[in-house]
Each structure stands twice: as C-alpha cells, then as structure tokens.
Chain A
C-alpha cells in the first residue's frame, strides 16, 4: 500500500508534448480515475507510473521513493490492460501465478494467493481453462486476478472495460469497486468514459491536452466545475452552453440570451457577476436537469419561458427535449407525462440556482 506522487511530469515524443507537466498526489488506498478525451495524455501518464514509458521531465514517486529510473518489475505495481493481455498458452492458474513464479515465491504460497484471488473474483472453477475458452468478462476477471495475487503497492487499470459490451461493462464496474473495497490497494484507473469515472472514483482527475483540468470528488466536478471543458465533459447529456450578455436593468442584473429572452441573475450571485456586465464572450452553463417543464409552484430563481421544441427523445423515466437558443442547441429533461411534441411550443422552466457563468475567452467558470 502506498501513495503515488507526480511532480511536473512531462512526456515528449519528438516534437509532440503528450503530457505537459502533471502534478498529482494520490493518497494511500485511494481510487483515482484519470478521465479525458482520447489523446489527452491519460494513458501516457498511467504508463509512466507503470514504467512502460520513460518520463521526459519531472518526478514520479511510489510510496515516497522516486522511481523515475526504476524498471517496471521493481516498482511493485500491477497493471490490467484493455485487451487483457493474458498469456494465451497458459491456463488461468498459470497466468495468475506467472509473476510470483518469476519472483521464486514458494509453491504453497503461490497456491494460497491464487486460490484467494480466485475466490475474491469468483473464478475458482476456471483455473484450469485457457484464455480462449473464457468470455470477455471472465478474461477481464483473470487479468484482475493476475494483478491481485501479486499484492502490489499500486493497481493500474488502462481502460479495462472498453472491450466489453455495455451490460457487462456495468456489471464489471461494480465488481471492480467491490474488489477495491476488499483489497484497499491504491488504484489509478484510466478511462474515457465519464460515467465509469464518476461511479468508481474517490477522486476524478479530468485531463485535457496533456494537462490536468481539475481534480475532485465526482460530486465536486459535477456541481462545481472550474472550467468549461470539465463542465461539458462530466455529465450526460452534457451541460448546455448558451451565449449570453449580462446587463444592468433597473438595478437588477439580467442575462440576455436573445432578443426576446432575458433571465434575472439569482440575487446570491449578482455581486459575484456584476463586474462582467457588458463583457463579450460570456456563456451560460445550465445542466439539462435544470431545464424542466413549467410547474404550478415556483421556487426562487426559477423562471418560465416559452420555446418551440425541435426534437423529443422519450427515455422512459424522463423525456429529453431539444430546442435552439441563439444558435446553441439546448437540452432539457422533462417529465414523461408532460406534453412535449416536436414542432410545438412548450412552457419550460430554468432553475438558475444551479447555473454557471463561463468566460468563453479563457474557458474558466466565473
């Protein structure tokens, strides 16, 4: 068990900067998820922690020891790969015990550990099988078993669920969480799937273009993103971004979304936003669940407006409605019983108590 520390870690491939100075402190027993679009440097960062990529600058420490020049086998880490990377000619038992055998662990100790790991993962009856006789989910379990038996300081997962079908992915996600709760090993997990990140992580690290955008608990990232990128990346359907202008009218601060529509800024935020009145390139960020159908009872900071609905997507427990405000497509989540129909006007309600104001020039949430 150990903490992992990254200090100004840089990775350069010839001219391309894949990772541009990452600082991160991962606590002992913590489950950290690196998430971001493809090419954001998350996998490279993980591979640098594993020692599979040399670092071009900065320091990586595992358990307090700087491991920049330590080969992977001496870092006491275990890694689970996207394509499982099981040894095809060995059966499950041999796959799981390979690393221990190389370390000359006594035979009965190997057997004890493999059996224990197999029990945790519920693969005891598969120990004699070859990888090709296993389903995708079973292979992924074996790959995890291979990591668990080594009882490493750190688990590294590189998009381990991406090769599974949607249903199995949800199931394995829960498995991984359960395993972590049992073994409590420090874990770094890479995924491009923000749902996976939110559900698994103690803390999520959102990366973009080789840099960390924000680190925080899943709820922090969801409710208090500090950049437009994080606001848009976390959450599905994504947050709506509507261009707006702040204007002072009769002593109150209002957001003008288009010629006809202008909404009052919540009183609690007026002071914070007032200096941006009249500034260009402002964007209102509002999650789809904060745009609903109008209801009789009005809370403070809720405002009704009329819109022509363009697309209706019934999801069962809710219905998604899409419309356009000054060129931006906006999504709202309405009650499935609300009368929403494409091409018809609908009275909608914006709950501005959860709004974000974003400076589109810097990409920062104000």
Chain B
C-alpha cells in the first residue's frame, strides 16, 4: 500500500524539475543572445582596426572587401615604432597616467578615510560635495583653468601651458572625485568595530588606515586605480586644449595631430597607433580583472 502511494505521487516531481530546467534553458538562450550581440557590437571596431593595421595604404583605399587582408604587411607597425614621435607620445602618456594614478589614490584614499570615519563638522556635506564636483562637465573647466594658469604665470612666472606634466595637475580634477566616492563607499562598508578594535590595540589613525583599511579595501582601491588610469590614459579634450607642441603631446592627441595631415588620413598608421595605445589598459584589466569584479560586488553579501 505504501509503495503504491509513493508510485502514485512520483510523476509530479519530475514534471516540476522539467519546467524548472526549461525555464533555465530559456534564460540561458536569452543570455547568450544578448552576450553575442554585445560581443559583436563591442569587438567589431577593434577587429576592424586590427585588420586595417595590417594593410598597406594602397590596399586600404582599394575597392576590395574591407574585412579581408589580401597582402598582409607589418609596415605600419615598423614605421610607427621606428619614428621617435610615437614613442614620445607613448612615454608622455605612460608617465602622466602613472603619476595621475599615484596622485589620485594618495588624495582619494586619505580623503575618503577622513570623510568616512573621522566624524567632523560638515563631513557629510563635504562627502556629497566631492561627488557633485564629478558631475561638472570637463568642458566647463577649461576657461577657469586657463584663467588660473595665467594667474600662476603672472604671479610666479611658472608657465603651465603646453607642458605634458601640467596634465598631472589637471587630470586629478576628473579622477579624484569619483575615486574618492568609490573609496568612501568602501570604507563605510567596513564595520566600525574594526577600527575600534585597532584603536584599543594601540593603532594611530594612520596605522589604522595603512594596516587595516587599505588591505581590507584592496578591491575598492584596485577599482579606483583602474578607473583613474583609464580616465587619464584615454583623456582627449584636456591635452588637446592645454598642449600644442608635438613633443608635449600624449597618445590620443598625438595620433590625431601627427597622422592626420590636412585632409590626408594615414589610416593604416592611425589604426596601428590606436591599437597599440589600447594595449596598456587591456593588459592592466587582464591582470586586475578578478580584483575588479570582486571590487564591484563587494558588500553585496556578508563578508
């Protein structure tokens, strides 16, 4: 009798499972559909760049299938890397980005720690204010910055215009507010008892920051680092406005300025230059990706 009742009840369960797995299958199909859509959308430009970079100027202007290389050549790479100019752009970009990341992290980590933990008069307002400055469009800052540079020149005699190192001063206006905002969120998610325990253990504020907060918030710091590196590596408008001499240019502006002569576009080298220029962020992402994802999802679950 018992066996019979089990047998009678049995069919209901597999049906349930089947409907669940069918749901899952459909979810997977839709996921793949959109993933493929995104991959195609985002990978087409770099693939096109890569294909074009392997073509000679003649082949690029020829009316052939643009998605195929008939006579592959490395001449674009040889010419670009053979000329000193491109390497100067690259060097300028690299120094500026590394310095901007260092400056940004130094300012934003300490600022975020103060704003998140040391309750002082106006700290909450200040924290919101930091974020609001991020919402100011870059282009609005040009004229005030020009004015300030002129003022510095008039009072101290230091010329800030047309130097690549000036960008190290300018870029943090873009990167510091957002990085600080990320770090405030991170530090705020660290339980208060942790700094109280450190305080009782005898740590100073500085030791609490360096020995507890920075290691614990490492994913956030890496997220902020990647962000500020990307901002300074890809920045176009500021260097276009503030640097003019060919030896002071950074990569994005340098490629456009030196490889577009009047209405002559050296497409092969432009594509090669852009492709090589995209390599450093790509390499950094690849190395830090695991941390980056951990950084974006931290706080979602109880640590």
Contact = CB atoms under 8 A, between A and B. Distances in A.
Interface of A: 50-52, 71-73, 77-79, 81-83, 85, 87-89, 98-99, 102-103, 132, 146, 150
Given A83-B191, A85-B194, A77 B200 contact: yes
13 contacts: A51-B200, A73-B199, A73-B200, A81-B197, A85-B197, A87-B197, A87-B216, A88-B216, A98-B203, A99-B202, A102-B201, A102-B203, A146-B197
Given A50-B196, A72-B199, A77-B200, 18 more contacts: A50-B200, A52-B199, A73-B200, A73-B202, A79-B197, A79-B200, A83-B191, A85-B193, A85-B194, A85-B197, A87-B194, A87-B197, A89-B216, A99-B200, A102-B202, A102-B203, A146-B197, A150-B201
A89 B199 contact: no
Among B193, B199, B201, B203, find the residue whose CB has the most chain A CB atoms closer than 10 A: B201
Interface string B179-205: 000000000000101101111111100
B216 A85 contact: no
Nearest to B203: A102
Contacts of A146: 197, 201
B193 A83 contact: yes
Nearest to A52: B196
Contacts of A89: 215-216, 218
A132 B212 contact: no
B207 interface: yes
Contact of B196 (A81, A99, A150): A81
A140 to B, nearest CB: 13
B55 to A, nearest CB: 51
Interface string B199-237: 111110001000110011010000000000000000000
B200 to A, nearest CB: 5
Given A52-B196, A83-B193, A85-B191, A132 B303 contact: yes
Contacts, number: 57
A87 to B, nearest CB: 6
B196 A85 contact: yes
A73 B203 contact: yes
B200 A98 contact: no
Contacts of A83: 191, 193
Contacts of B194: 85, 87
A132 B302 CA distance: 11
A85 B194 CA distance: 5
Interchain residue pairs A-B with the least CB separation, the first 6: A99-B201, A85-B193, A73-B202, A85-B197, A89-B215, A102-B202
Contacts of A51: 200
A98 B201 contact: yes
B222 to A, nearest CB: 14
Contacts of A85: 191, 193-194, 196-197
A247 B143 CA distance: 93
Contacts of B207: 102
Given A87-B216, A88-B216, A132-B303, A81 B199 contact: no
Nearest to A87: B212
A54 to B, nearest CB: 12
Nearest to A82: B193
Nearest to B217: A89
A98 B200 CA distance: 11
Nearest to B303: A88
Contacts of A98: 198, 201, 203, 211
Contacts of A88: 216, 303
Nearest to A50: B200
B193 A81 contact: yes
A50 B198 CA distance: 13
B190 to A, nearest CB: 9
Contacts of A81: 193, 196-197
A132 B303 CA distance: 8
Interface string B157-199: 0000000000000000000000000000000000101101111
Contacts of A52: 196, 199-200
A109 B218 CA distance: 31
Among A51, A89, A132, find the residue whose CB has the most chain B CB atoms closer than 10 A: A89
Contacts of B199: 52, 71-73
Contacts of B196: 50, 52, 72, 79, 81, 85
Nearest to A89: B215
Nearest to B214: A89
A212 to B, nearest CB: 25
Contacts of B197: 79, 81, 85, 87, 146
A202 B152 CA distance: 71
A299 to B, nearest CB: 53
B216 A103 contact: no
A307 B149 CA distance: 93
